[in-house]
């Protein structure tokens, strides 16, 4: 609920409670009020408890209050309730990594299998091409999702009637094989997200200043469904990277990643004619992101720079 003109005055709203459907609303709320109620639909309902004199205030602040399809029920003399349909909430499932006993069914792979069974994947994936987007690592990076969990996920997608394939950047297929993500192990194809040479892409325009277009990986865009199978990683800018980066940076071409990183370089303008090469900027950088190249020009590592501006303040 967005209330701009007098948001502070809504401090008298006493509580907000969400019921999953009309049945739970009747059991949980109207059991206390002892009143009959027919819900306007089977969608979740949010209940706002507010003082009676604030109804006029809400009507003034929310011109579309009639679109709530609200029914008011008098409850005691000083209060009343408004009922608002709200969108279905995201379902979050959790499996604890802690193993409480030495038992196969208590292991994390077993918990993961049971978690997938409870998601009813067939309703979403049956008959669809399903891209499983991972970050398979590179160079000497070794902290990735164990292949056994990938195989469990692939088998679950197949059991649901989907057609899975594992994907990451075009040059990551060799890295995937090096870490055990082979078709024989994971049970599905392993393909580059943007083809063999990072050229299978779809160009899209954006409204981001300095980034007029992006190239979306073709094998991601072609999928009917996308499972973002991410693991937490350390990150130079944000501290941690996970599912958001796996989509935003992992589903575009390498060239687009370069364009995105280049957005950061526009914040700095090295004036070579004024530089005395005192190296104060280098010594003042807490991450070691600044270097002089072979042409005696400043270069800044866009991955290590965290925009603390110590270099700007250190420059004489």
- 298: CATH: 3.30.70.20
Domain count, the chain: 3
Average pLDDT per block of 10 residues along the chain, 316 residues long: 33 44 52 43 44 39 38 36 52 83 91 91 94 88 90 97 92 82 95 91 90 94 95 75 88 90 69 89 89 87 78 86
Q: Is residue 107 part of a domain?
A: no
Q: Which of 85, 112, 146 is the last residue of a domain?
A: 85
249 shares a domain with 136: yes
**Cα separation, 174 vs 218, whole angstroms:** 19
Question: Torsion over CA of 267, 268, 269 and 271, rounded to 10 degrees?
Answer: 160
Quote the pLDDT of residue 26: 52
**Cα separation, 217 vs 193, whole angstroms:** 5
Quote the pLDDT of residue 52: 41
165 shares a domain with 231: yes
255 shares a domain with 277: no
Q: Which of 85, 108, 141 is the last residue of a domain?
A: 85
272 shares a domain with 249: no
Quote the pLDDT of residue 8: 29
229 shares a domain with 188: yes
303 shares a domain with 245: no
Q: Is residue 18 part of a domain?
A: yes
pTM: 0.63
Q: Is residue 103 part of a domain?
A: no
Domain that residue 51 falls in: 7-85
133 shares a domain with 228: yes
212 shares a domain with 126: yes
Quote the pLDDT of residue 203: 95
**Residue with token string 């706002």:** 48
Quote the pLDDT of residue 12: 39
284 shares a domain with 242: no
133 shares a domain with 26: no
Quote the pLDDT of residue 27: 55
């Amino acid at each position: 609920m967005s209330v701009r003109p007098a948001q502070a005055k809504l401090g008298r709203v006493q509580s907000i409670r969400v019921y999953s459907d009309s049945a739970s609303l009747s059991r949980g709320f109207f059991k206390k009020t002892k009143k009959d109620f027919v819900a306007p639909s089977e969608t979740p309902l949010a209940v706002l408890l507010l003082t009676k004199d604030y109804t006029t205030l809400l009507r003034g602040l929310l011109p579309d209050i009639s679109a709530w399809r609200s029914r008011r029920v008098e409850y005691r003399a000083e209060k009343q309730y408004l009922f608002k349909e709200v969108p279905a909430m995201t379902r979050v499932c959790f499996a604890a990594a802690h193993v409480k006993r030495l038992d196969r069914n208590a292991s994390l792979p077993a918990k993961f299998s049971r978690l997938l069974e409870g998601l009813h994947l067939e309703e979403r994936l049956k008959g669809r091409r399903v891209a499983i987007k991972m970050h398979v690592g590179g160079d000497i990076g070794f902290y990735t999702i164990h292949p056994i969990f990938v195989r469990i996920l692939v088998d679950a997608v197949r059991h649901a009637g989907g057609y899975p394939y594992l994907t990451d950047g075009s040059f990551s297929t060799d890295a995937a094989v090096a870490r055990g993500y082979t078709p024989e192990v994971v049970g599905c194809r392993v393909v580059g997200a943007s083809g063999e040479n990072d050229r299978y892409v779809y160009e899209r325009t954006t409204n981001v200043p300095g980034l007029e277009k992006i190239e979306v990986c073709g094998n991601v865009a072609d999928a009917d469904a996308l499972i973002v199978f991410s693991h937490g990683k350390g990150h130079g800018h944000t501290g941690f990277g996970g599912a958001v980066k796996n989509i935003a940076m992992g589903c575009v071409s390498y060239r687009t990643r370069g364009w995105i990183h280049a957005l950061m370089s526009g914040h700095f303008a090295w004036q070579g004619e004024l530089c005395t090469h005192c190296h104060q900027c280098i010594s003042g950088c807490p991450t070691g992101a600044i270097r002089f190249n072979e042409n005696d020009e400043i270069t800044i590592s866009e991955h290590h720079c965290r925009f603390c501006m110590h270099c700007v303040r250190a420059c004489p």
